[in-house]
Amino acid sequence: MSDVKKVVLAYSGGLDTSIILKWLEDTYGCEVVTFTADLGQGEELEPARAKAEKMGVKEIYIEDLREEFVRDYVFPMFRANTIYEGEYLLGTSIARPLIAKRLVEIANQTGADAISHGATGKGNDQVRFELGAYALKPGVKVIAPWREWDLLSREKLMAYAKEHDIPVDFAKQGKKSPYSMDANLLHISYEGGILEDPWAEPEEDMWRWSVSPEAAPDTPTYIDLTYEKGDIVAIDGERLKPHEVLEKLNKLGGANGIGRLDIVENRYVGMKSRGAYETPGGTIMLKAHRAIESITLDREVAHLKDELMPRYAEMIYNGYWWSPERKLLQTIIDESQEVVNGKVRVKLYKGNVIPVGRESADTLFDENIATFEDDAGAYNQKDAEGFIKLNALRLRIAANKGRKLG
């Protein structure tokens, strides 16, 4: 007899998690609570409720977490200009700690003994969900069906669904995309299908959020982004909530062919994986944030942030959002953003995000010093001679000792 009486399942209502729901009941003889998060994936979530009800689920949680997701996870990450391996904007990674948090909170509310997820044993998401859960509820039991069952093919899953009368739209499943997709307000990802061949170019009709750069308008779009403490608070003077900012930037970026990415990345579990991503709003945010920082941050602070960023990105990618080291770095990053206020104007054109204007009351850009015209004595050019000689001193000493440096 299983010691698991109740389990909270991260539930989408799709084929995999519908099967997991029934499998949990049969394998563990337990009650299942379903949790479905609206992170802006652009899908109607009420069908998930109907499916769960049809399968006899008594406790069903469907929650709109869009504002919390962008405010407390996406925005803090973008304050660090975070990218993984030089390209990936971490759209899937940053959603997992919030889902893990709510799974644990719902388990506490409902008195559940365990949580469960549909991540496979080959991917990063199992690590992210479970590291988060253990950090927030150390004694929680985690059930990962893909590491336990033998339903390791689409055919076996479909047969199981048919055998147990699981409400799955078989007609729709037959026409489903050949790609494994994950979407939220920050991005949509594509894996599998022809993408498993790293030489194969993605088909044009795969992309869902953006037009191709070739098909984008011939006239650029200009937008003004207002920043307060490193976060965008207004677009073209209109103040918006965090999730509304990202929604609007996604539309503007997608219409201008911005945000497509095709990469081979190194998963935490050890393998290389090829994925394609659309992150139109995030691509704009990254470029614009660096633009406002360029005039407001001290040089050494900016350079230190750039040194720390790859480590911070790895923490998020690998699932360590709920770790003391990420919290420590976040404190440093957020402190740097106190002066990141002002406005950036960007031009969106055929896949490009081009900052064309920056202004801030906290700017460190001094036109009187930087000018190529007469600076009226603001900068004494003769000072550069001593500066250069002192910085060259060790090089001159080594050269005089006969050391070859070239």
- State residue 169's pLDDT score: 62
Question: Binding site annotation covers 18?
Answer: yes
Question: Binding site annotation covers 180?
Answer: yes
Contact 6, 141 (CB under 8 A): no
180, 267, 290, 345: the catalytic one is 180
Q: pTM for this structure? A: 0.94
Question: Binding site annotation covers 38?
Answer: no
Please give the average pLDDT of every successive group of 10 residues along the chain, which has 406 residues: 89 91 95 97 88 94 98 98 98 98 98 96 96 97 96 87 79 62 96 96 96 98 98 98 98 98 97 97 98 98 98 98 98 98 98 98 95 92 96 96 88
Contact 231, 336 (CB under 8 A): no
Question: Binding site annotation covers 14?
Answer: yes
CATH, domain 6-65+92-176, list 3.40.50.300, 3.30.420.10, 3.10.180.10, 3.40.50.620: 3.40.50.620
- State residue 384's pLDDT score: 96
105 exposure class (CB count in 10 Å sphere: 0-12, 13-18, 19+) = middle
Whether 125 is a known active-site residue: answer yes
- State residue 1's pLDDT score: 52
- State residue 406's pLDDT score: 79
Whether 180 is a known active-site residue: answer yes
113, 125, 182, 231: the catalytic one is 125
Question: Binding site annotation covers 189?
Answer: yes
Upper half-sphere CA count for residue 312 (Cβ side, 13 Å): 24
Whether 345 is a known active-site residue: answer no
Inter-CA distances, 216 with 25, 253, 346, Å: 50, 10, 16
- State residue 176's pLDDT score: 60
Q: How far apart are CA 351 and CA 353, in angstroms?
A: 7
> What does residue 205 show for φ and ψ, rounded to 5 degrees?
-80, 0
- State residue 171's pLDDT score: 43
16, 113, 182, 231: the catalytic one is 16
Question: Binding site annotation covers 317?
Answer: no
CB neighbourhood size of 393 (10 A)? 10
66, 79, 96, 326: the catalytic one is 96
Question: Binding site annotation covers 37?
Answer: yes
Residue 274 pairs in a beta bridge with 264
Contacts 24+ apart (CB under 8 A), 358-361: 358/291, 358/292, 358/294, 358/295, 359/295, 360/227, 360/292, 360/295, 360/296
Domain ranges of the chain: 6-65+92-176, 183-297+340-359
Superfamily for domain range 183-297+340-359: Argininosuccinate synthetase, chain A, domain 2 (3.90.1260.10)
CA angle 142, 144, 148 (to 5 degrees): 125
Q: How far apart are CA 346 and CA 162, in angstroms?
A: 53
